[in-house]
């Protein structure tokens, strides 16, 4: 695309939606519960419901990851018009789901990208996810250990879109803002990177259809559809 990659020596990644599948971790516990209550519908229909509502969820929870499951639950009960008994059942099924919010599944191409980038760049992970979620990400995806620094929500007073986590990661790596590329799929990733004075790039990912305009409104310096395009942007294959 251009020669900006020659100036960059640090990559700071978001986690959910950029390297891992947000739908699996956040939505699937609700999906499993709904499928037990409304057995006559297909999972694909409910996946579409989530995808269409994700922008509204993001609008009301940006910068506060704790609110995402609450918002999803509220919207699912309203959209599906669950009655009181069904709502209680849904709460029970989610509460007793041993895998709820624990599945940290890498997106296609994420591992390959990191393995190619680790020899050229200083790598950091900056996320609004909790320490426990990051721990599970590393446990389920050993290649996460290639990130020299990991900043999660328990490490900072203010999470993204505040730039504190970005600044903290750069300080740990000894990196300069103008040589640091902040990579994310949501507006708060881009805003945090911009506020920290970094170069920013949006990776639209799986929910591009519903989130692209929101992300572009945050004014990233660059934008790509997926990690393959990001690899081409950084010329990792040359």
CATH assignment at residue 166: 3.40.50.1000
Residues 113, 165: one domain?
yes
Whether 52 and 166 share a structural domain: no
Assign residue 197 a region: left if phi > 0, alpha if psi is -120 to 50, beta otherwise?
Answer: left
Residues 139 and 224 in one domain: yes
Residues 118 and 179 in one domain: yes
User: Cα 178 to the chain's mean position, in Å?
Assistant: 23
Dihedral over alpha carbons 80, 56, 65, 124 (to 10 degrees):
130
Task: Return all residues near 214 (Cβ < 8 A) that are at least 6 apart.
Answer: 55, 58, 59, 186, 187
Round to whole Å and give the CA distance between 110 and 129.
18
Same domain as 12, residue 85: no
Question: Is there a single domain that holds both residue 91 and residue 108?
Answer: no
Q: Are 16 and 38 part of one and the same domain?
A: no
Same domain, 150 and 227: yes
Q: How many domains does the chain fold into? A: 2
Q: Would you say residue 64 lies in a domain?
A: yes
Structural domain of 178: 4-20+104-233
In a domain, 238, yes or no: no
Question: pLDDT tens, position by position, for the chain (238 residues)?
Answer: 456 666 899 999 999 889 998 778 778 888 888 888 887 777 677 666 666 666 555 554 454 555 666 777 777 787 778 899 999 998 899 889 888 878 888 999 999 999 999 999 999 999 988 898 899 899 989 999 999 999 999 999 999 999 999 999 999 999 999 999 999 998 999 999 999 999 999 999 887 877 888 899 999 999 999 999 999 999 998 6
Contact by Cβ (8 Å): 104, 138: no
Paired strand residues for 181: 11, 199
């Amino acid at each position: 695309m251009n020669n900006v990659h020659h100036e960059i020596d640090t990559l700071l990644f978001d986690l959910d939606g950029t390297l891992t599948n947000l739908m699996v971790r956040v939505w699937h516990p609700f999906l499993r519960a709904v499928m037990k209550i409304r057995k006559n519908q297909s999972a694909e229909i409910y996946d579409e419901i989530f995808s269409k509502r994700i922008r509204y969820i993001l609008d009301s929870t940006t910068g506060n990851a704790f609110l995402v499951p609450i918002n999803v639950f509220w919207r699912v009960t309203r959209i599906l018009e669950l009655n009181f008994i069904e709502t209680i059942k849904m709460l029970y099924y989610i509460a007793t789901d041993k895998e709820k919010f624990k599945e940290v599944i890498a997106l296609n191409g994420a591992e390959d990208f990191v393995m190619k980038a680790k020899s050229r760049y200083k790598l950091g992970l900056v996320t609004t996810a909790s320490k426990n979620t990051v721990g599970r990400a590393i446990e389920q995806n050993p290649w996460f250990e290639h990130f020299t620094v990991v900043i999660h929500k328990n490490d900072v007073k203010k999470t993204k879109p505040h730039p504190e986590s970005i600044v903290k990661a750069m300080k740990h790596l000894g990196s300069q803002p103008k040589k640091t590329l902040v990579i994310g799929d949501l507006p708060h990733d881009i805003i945090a990177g911009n506020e920290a004075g970094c170069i920013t790039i949006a990776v639209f990912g799986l929910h591009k259809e519903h989130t692209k305009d929101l992300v572009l409104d945050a004014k990233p310096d660059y934008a790509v559809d997926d990690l393959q395009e990001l690899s081409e942007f950084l010329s990792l294959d040359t």
